[in-house]
Each structure stands twice: as C-alpha cells, then as structure tokens.
Copies of this chain bind each other. A is one copy, B any other.
C-alpha cells in the first residue's frame, strides 16, 4: 500500500445510534467504512471512505471456499476531553501483516492503514459511545476476492475497516466466569494457523463452545493439540494464572495467538515489579496449585473483555473454584489500569494511548 490519497464519499443518510444501555457487541455498524483494493499488477489502489453498504463478490471468490482472510480487533474510546483515543493500534497493523504472511496474503502499509483508520474515525466520530465501559469496536480485515476454485493464493484482495459501537462487556461490573477445559476439540497446533488471526481458527472453535454453552460454561479452556496436557488459551483470549505470588502465562509456542492485551499485561506487571513468566503450564500443575491453595487468581485477556476473571474450571468433570469465585485483586487492578489508559484517565507510562486529531 503505497501512500496515496483517501477519497471520502459521505453517506447521504445517518443511521440511528443505539442507546448506551442497548449496545451489544458487533451487531450495529456505523455510517461509513474504509476500503482498499489489491491486484498483483497494481498493488493497493482505490483507498476510500465510503458509506457502509453490502459487498458485491463473485460466488467463486476464494474467501468463500478456501478461507483466505485475516482480521484484527481494537477499540476507540472518547476521552473526557472529547478526544478519540486508540490503544496501541500500530500493534494491530503489525500483527495483521504477520497474519497475512502466514496466509500468503499481501502486506499492507501499516502506517498508511493507521492513517486510514484515523480518517474513518474522524468521519464517524459521533458514533463513539460515551457511557462508561462503552467503546467503538474497530474491525480491520482482508479477504481474497479472486473468482477461482483452484487451491492457490488469490491474486486479488480487499482490505476493509468497519466500526461497531459496543456496550460494556460487564453490564454489572467485572465478574468471574466459569470455564470448561476442552479435552476433545483442538483450536490449533504448532505448524498450523494458531498464531495468525484468521477465520479458520474461529470456525474450528465453534463446536467446543457449543458444547460448553450446553453445559452452562461461558468459555472453553484450550489445551495443546499434541498431548492435550498444556494450557493454551481461553475462548478467544490469552490466559494468565497467579500462583504463589507469581503470574504465569503460556509461552508463545507456535499455536497461541500473541494478544496485544497479553503483551501489555506482561509489560505492566514487570513495571510493577510483580514476577511474571511465560512458560508451559499443564492442567496437572494447575490442579496441584489449586489443591495446595497456591492458585490465587486466573483470568483471560483480550480486546473485547480486557480482563475476564475465571471463577471456576471444570476439568474432566472435576470442578476447581478459584479465589472463592470472586474477582481477584490483581485482575481488578489490571482491568482498572488498562481501561484507564485506554480512556485516558490513568497515567500511561508506556505511551500506549494514541490520540486522533
């Protein structure tokens, strides 16, 4: 994506904005979207902000058949001063390029893509909800558009950014969830696509989530695909455990997605001089830590929830309650700090916040 101008075509009508208390996740979209098109001969062209409208694609487009697609997720907040704030957006653009590399898709110009996002946000600024805990969810994504049924990388792509105002993940304040340890289905394996933010990983996860839902659990804890012994992720989040005062998160092993919230938490903990270590951790070890009373807290981390405390595990029909099913102190502190940095109400020692002018 060479630096080019962005054409802006404004929508003639404005969509109705949902009330703060009616906001859900990812159901309503703003008035505009950003689009750029790629073909092998010309690279990225036709960068434009246009009214949000349906896509028109050939039924043979590669994305429908062979899933060549990657995406990102981040949020924009409105600060008390009315400024648009982003949280480490350059990290999302970088990871998008890493995902593209794995999926044989073209690279984007990360700086230009961020510029495009900022322009789109300025156009749809009115859509950023103001109530506590709400935000504008941002979904950059790229799809393979060439109509071709051969199994080969597409020669044509579309890069898009769409925006959706979302409610607070916790309607009644941060609270712990119950999770089911998954012993049958596997999310990803080393050598697969687990480190990329690509559609197939999420498609593969639906079945296990369905089973968990039926049993009354809100998330699945994924184990490694080789030995089904080591902990990988929780739902579509990374996972952390506080054991004997030390914070442990599974090391990046070739199948775990490197979350930007994960990375930020590791940096924050180090900044706070709290011991944090990335290493293999097995369900057996977790079970033992629980039995010894050493397991103090457990939580998932991701863009949607920021921090999602875990109050209970079910592993092979045995239940393990963590911290009496309550949100741990560290979980709360991390949640408050990260959301504070995101909205601009808390000191930002790493300059993670980016204001859009």
Contact = CB atoms under 8 A, between A and B. Distances in A.
A65 B149 contact: no
A231 interface: no
A297 B54 CA distance: 51
Contacts of A26: 60, 148-150
A324 B232 CA distance: 46
A59 B149 contact: no
Contacts of A192: 185-189, 192, 204, 225
A132 to B, nearest CB: 21
Contact of A191 (B29, B52, B186): B186
Nearest to A29: B60
A207 interface: yes
Interface in A41-59: 52, 54-59
The complex is assembled from copies of this chain, and their number is: 2
A26 B65 CA distance: 12
Nearest to A164: B149
Q: Which of A33, A203, A228 is packed against the most chain B CB atoms within 10 Å?
A: A203
A210 B153 contact: yes
Contacts of A149: 25-27, 137, 139, 164
Contacts of A141: 64-65
A203 B55 contact: no
Nearest to A105: B206
A33 B57 contact: no
Contacts of A190: 186, 225
B151 A64 contact: no
Contact of A65 (B27, B147, B153, B202): B202
Interface in A146-169: 147-153, 160, 162, 164
The 10 closest A-B pairs by CB, nearest first: A200-B200, A26-B149, A67-B199, A186-B191, A66-B202, A67-B203, A189-B189, A104-B206, A189-B225, A67-B67
Interface of A: 25-27, 29, 33, 52, 54-60, 63-69, 71, 102-104, 137, 139, 141, 143, 147-153, 160, 162, 164, 184-193, 198-207, 209-210, 225-226, 228, 235-236
